[in-house]
């Protein structure tokens, strides 16, 4: 299996490791140190070599950081992880901090009122992050200073950096050659007056060069750095052992290959202005350039928006992947309904089965993230990862949140369904129906060009808000095409000011969570398209809309149909009819029979 179930959190190891870190800091004359989740590439997911936050604290979530001071060690986590962190860290030694509500600068002001020196590794923090922190500390005696990495210095058995092999991403699914991408982006640099751009995000480099890698489980990316010149030439800084002869031939003569340690000397020899992304590049990159007298031009990574705007081949591939994945999901849901009627079904068993149905497609490259299968109170842990220690029987009267996805050569999937095991409490059905109304609301939206995710997010929450309820995660994230399941910059979130554009693919996943009781989430992926004009609409007003890519039934046993409006009911019935039409022919006879009942009109 791709997924394993051993527990990686070691709360018992936190106190001695924390003591060792504090001793190292005291020896260096420091009062504190910042330990981020991020690696040098600022990706959401990191290799075992870079699991510094988890190694120190026990917290394994995909976002967060720790600030270690002599008397307190704060673990900053957002709303997705506030339940999880309480069971993964030793609360006698680590203090969870609600972030971003509590800013690290405000916390430091309170915890270091007399001032002090707090260190950070400039390769693990972006320029914007440190600028914001320093701005928040203006007027205090607290100094934020660049240092070596003190976690690495006390980690005796730190794993080596990953050396996964690189593969060529076929042109028929990429939809554009690497040479054309380089020329297109190089011309954009020329128009902006930039001589070059430094690329540090693994998915940007993979997309630009039409390569995929195996350095990070679940995300087919390559750990490397690159310098893209205005003329389209690229210098790729990568461990040579990752590259086969076929990959070297694919990269061709216009890609200069250098080892990773050659990056810093190469930066010092550039002629500016050199574009650096303040939000994604390590602070060390701009510091090296400035120290060498190279002009830095702050600007967005030139790959980010072109990568987000999927071309027709990528959209077609994603659609095919979702039909294949949808059939595997329906086979699983039919199996789950049968298995849940007996005894012995557990969360781990369900995850095993779901991966088995995806593997049966003979097209699965990997899962796109660790499957979340949370029954009963575990469903309230938004990013719950089942282990041998946490595994529990799935019992009658519960709802189960199943959030999963697959990596296929032609696309990346991400789907969540919440299913019932027998009759459930009416309050659970009421909450589920509100969540469903939010998902339908996003699915039916039309909006004018220029509107960002922040403007749409509240649509998914409207019915929950009317009931005094909400959820502590964004409504949707961007998704890559056989790349990262979480892709920026597009989001459906109250903090996202990025206008949505045709070709962008996002998740649509409202939810509701009651700690200690149950969780609910429903998720489809959608692609932004030009909306067809409507009779009576403004002819001059160009509108956009979402087209749903995900096809799998929504559990009608949890829907209070009387609460739905006519438009909502019509949407659900039409969606289920499309699920039958698109997925039915791909199923076994037993699953097809189950699907007919699961998608009946209401």
Once rounded to an integer, what is the mean pLDDT over residues 504-513? 98
572: nearest Cα among 599, 546, 542, 539? 599
Final residue before a domain boundary, out of 131, 154, 177: 154
**In-domain check, residue 86:** yes
- Looking at the structure, tell me whether residues 133 and 210 fall in a common domain: no
The torsion angle over the Cα atoms of residues 73, 77, 83 and 84, rounded to 10 degrees, is: -80
Which pLDDT score, from 0 to 100, does residue 12 have? 84
74: nearest Cα among 82, 65, 87? 65
Gap between the Cα atoms of 294 and 115, Å rounded: 34
- Looking at the structure, tell me whether residues 172 and 229 fall in a common domain: yes
Once rounded to an integer, what is the mean pLDDT over residues 325-340? 97
The pLDDT tens digits of the residues spanning 54-103 come to: 999 999 988 899 999 999 999 999 888 888 899 899 999 999 999 999 99
Angle between helices 312-340 and 589-598 (to 10 degrees): 90
**In-domain check, residue 314:** yes
- The answer to whether 401 and 379 are in contact (CB under 8 A) is yes
Which pLDDT score, from 0 to 100, does residue 470 have? 98
389: pLDDT strictly greater than 90: no
362: pLDDT strictly greater than 90: yes
**In-domain check, residue 2:** no
Please give the structure tokens belonging to residue 242. 């990752």
233: pLDDT strictly greater than 80: yes
Q: Is the dihedral of CA 169, 174, 177, 183 positive or negative?
A: negative
Gap between the Cα atoms of 330 and 588, Å rounded: 10
Rg (CA), the chain: 25
Q: Is the dihedral of CA 72, 78, 79, 81 positive or negative?
A: negative
- The answer to whether 386 and 406 are in contact (CB under 8 A) is no
How does strand 116-120 pair with strand 142-146? Answer: parallel
Q: What are phi and psi of 302, to 5 degrees?
A: -65, -15
155: nearest Cα among 58, 21, 61? 21
- Looking at the structure, tell me whether residues 492 and 405 fall in a common domain: yes
Sequence-ordered list of residues with C-beta below 8 angstroms from that of 143, at least 6 positions apart, any chain: 115, 116, 117, 118
**In-domain check, residue 69:** yes
- Looking at the structure, tell me whether residues 591 and 453 fall in a common domain: yes
Sequence-ordered list of residues with C-beta below 8 angstroms from that of 162, at least 6 positions apart, any chain: 47, 48, 49, 214, 215, 216, 223
Q: Give 431's pLDDT tier (boundaries 50, 70, 90).
A: very high
Once rounded to an integer, what is the mean pLDDT over residues 122-147? 96
Gap between the Cα atoms of 328 and 586, Å rounded: 9
- Looking at the structure, tell me whether residues 383 and 523 fall in a common domain: yes
Which pLDDT score, from 0 to 100, does residue 459 have? 98
**In-domain check, residue 135:** yes
Final residue before a domain boundary, out of 154, 184, 218: 154
244: pLDDT strictly greater than 90: yes
- Looking at the structure, tell me whether residues 37 and 178 fall in a common domain: no
Which pLDDT score, from 0 to 100, does residue 83 have? 85
Which of helix, strand or coil describes residue 473?
coil
Gap between the Cα atoms of 551 and 157, Å rounded: 45
**Alpha helices per DSSP H over 374-476:** 426-443, 453-456, 462-466
Neighbours of 601 (CB within 10 A): 11
- Looking at the structure, tell me whether residues 376 and 441 fall in a common domain: yes
- 61 vs 200, residue with greater confidence: 200
Gap between the Cα atoms of 408 and 405, Å rounded: 10
Return the DSSP state at 493.
S
Q: Give 306's pLDDT tier (boundaries 50, 70, 90).
A: very high
Final residue before a domain boundary, out of 123, 154, 185: 154
**In-domain check, residue 5:** no
Which pLDDT score, from 0 to 100, does residue 195 have? 98
Gap between the Cα atoms of 327 and 37, Å rounded: 35
445: pLDDT strictly greater than 80: yes
578: pLDDT strictly greater than 80: yes
**Alpha helices per DSSP H over 2-119:** 14-27, 52-57, 84-88, 104-111
Which pLDDT score, from 0 to 100, does residue 492 have? 97
Whole-number percent of the chain with pLDDT over 90:
92
Which pLDDT score, from 0 to 100, does residue 396 have? 94
Which pLDDT score, from 0 to 100, does residue 433 have? 98
74: nearest Cα among 88, 84, 83, 64? 64
Which pLDDT score, from 0 to 100, does residue 45 have? 86
**Domain carrying residue 88:** 11-154
Gap between the Cα atoms of 574 and 328, Å rounded: 21
Report the chain's mean pLDDT, rounded to a whole number.
96
Q: Is the dihedral of CA 39, 62, 481, 541 positive or negative?
A: negative
Gap between the Cα atoms of 28 and 135, Å rounded: 25
- The answer to whether 524 and 532 are in contact (CB under 8 A) is no
- Looking at the structure, tell me whether residues 104 and 211 fall in a common domain: no
- The count of domains in the chain is 3
**In-domain check, residue 477:** yes
Gap between the Cα atoms of 147 and 28, Å rounded: 10
- Looking at the structure, tell me whether residues 372 and 279 fall in a common domain: no
Return the DSSP state at 216.
B
Gap between the Cα atoms of 221 and 319, Å rounded: 21
**In-domain check, residue 264:** yes
143: nearest Cα among 176, 120, 172? 120
The pLDDT tens digits of the residues spanning 4-58 come to: 897 776 788 999 999 999 999 999 999 999 999 999 998 788 999 999 999 999 9
- Looking at the structure, tell me whether residues 37 and 172 fall in a common domain: no
Which pLDDT score, from 0 to 100, does residue 405 have? 98
Q: Which helix (H) or strand (E) holds 584?
A: none
236: nearest Cα among 210, 216, 217? 210
Q: What is the CATH number of the domain that holds 221?
A: 3.40.350.10
Q: What is the CATH number of the domain that holds 317?
A: 3.90.230.10
Gap between the Cα atoms of 498 and 452, Å rounded: 5
Which pLDDT score, from 0 to 100, does residue 10 have? 79
- Looking at the structure, tell me whether residues 184 and 298 fall in a common domain: yes
- Looking at the structure, tell me whether residues 217 and 68 fall in a common domain: no
């Amino acid at each position: 299996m791709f997924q394993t179930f051993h527990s990686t959190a070691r709360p018992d190891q936190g106190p001695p490791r924390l003591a060792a870190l504090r001793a190292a800091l005291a020896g260096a004359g420091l009062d504190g140190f910042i330990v981020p989740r991020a690696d040098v590439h600022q990706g959401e997911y990191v290799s075992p070599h870079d699991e510094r936050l988890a190694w120190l604290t026990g917290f394994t979530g995909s976002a967060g950081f720790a600030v270690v001071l002599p008397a307190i060690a704060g673990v900053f986590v957002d709303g997705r992880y506030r339940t999880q962190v309480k069971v993964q860290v030793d609360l006698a030694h680590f203090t969870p901090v609600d972030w971003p509500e509590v800013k690290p600068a405000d916390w430091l002001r309170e915890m270091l009122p007399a001032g002090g020196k707090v260190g950070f590794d400039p390769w693990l923090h972006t320029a914007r992050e440190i600028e914001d922190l320093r701005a928040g500390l203006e007027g205090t005696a607290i100094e934020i200073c660049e240092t070596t990495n003190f976690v690495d210095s006390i980690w005796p058995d730190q794993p080596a950096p990953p050396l996964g092999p690189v593969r060529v991403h076929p042109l028929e699914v990429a939809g554009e050659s690497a040479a054309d991408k380089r020329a297109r982006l190089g011309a954009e640099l020329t128009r902006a007056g930039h001589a070059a751009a430094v690329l540090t995000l693994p998915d940007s480099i993979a997309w630009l060069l039409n390569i995929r890698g195996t350095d990070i489980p679940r995300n087919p990316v390559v750990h490397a750095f690159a310098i893209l010149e205005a003329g389209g030439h690229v210098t790729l800084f990568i461990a040579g052992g990752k590259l086969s002869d076929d990959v070297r031939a694919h990269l061709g003569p216009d890609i200069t290959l250098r080892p990773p340690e050659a990056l810093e000397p190469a930066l010092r020899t550039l002629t500016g202005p050199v574009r650096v992304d303040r939000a994604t590049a390590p602070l060390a990159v701009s510091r090296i350039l400035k120290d060498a007298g190279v002009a830095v031009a702050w600007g967005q990574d030139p790959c980010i928006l072109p990568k987000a705007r999927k071309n027709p081949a990528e959209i077609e591939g994603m659609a095919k992947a979702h039909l294949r994945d949808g059939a595997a999901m329906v086979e699983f849901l039919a199996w789950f309904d049968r298995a849940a009627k007996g005894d012995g079904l557990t969360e781990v068993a369900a995850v095993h089965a779901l991966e088995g149905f995806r593997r049966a497609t003979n097209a699965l490259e990997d899962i796109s993230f660790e499957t979340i299968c949370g029954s009963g109170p575990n469903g309230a842990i938004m990013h719950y990862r089942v282990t041998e220690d946490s595994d529990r029987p799935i019992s009658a009267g519960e709802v189960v949140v199943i959030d999963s996805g697959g990596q296929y050569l032609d696309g990346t999937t991400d789907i969540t369904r919440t299913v019932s095991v027998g009759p459930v409490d009416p309050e659970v059905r009421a909450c589920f129906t509100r969540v469903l109304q939010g998902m339908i609301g996003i699915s039916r939206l039309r909006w004018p060009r220029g509107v960002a995710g922040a403007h749409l997010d509240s649509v998914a929450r409207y019915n929950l808000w009317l009931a005094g309820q909400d959820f502590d995660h964004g409504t949707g994230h961007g998704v890559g095409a056989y790349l990262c399941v979480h892709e920026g910059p597009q989001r459906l979130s109250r903090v996202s000011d990025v206008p949505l554009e045709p070709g962008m693919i996002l998740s649509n996943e409202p939810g509701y969570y009651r700690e200690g009781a149950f969780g609910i989430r429903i998720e489809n992926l959608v692609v932004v398209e030009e909306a067809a004009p409507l009779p009576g609409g403004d002819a001059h007003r160009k509108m956009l809309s979402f087209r749903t890519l995900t096809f799998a039934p929504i559990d009608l046993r949890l829907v209070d149909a009387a609460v739905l409006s006519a438009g909502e009911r019509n949407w659900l019935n039409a969606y289920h009819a499309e699920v039958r039409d698109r997925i039915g022919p791909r199923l076994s006879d037993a699953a097809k029979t189950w699907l007919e009942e699961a998608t009946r009109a209401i």
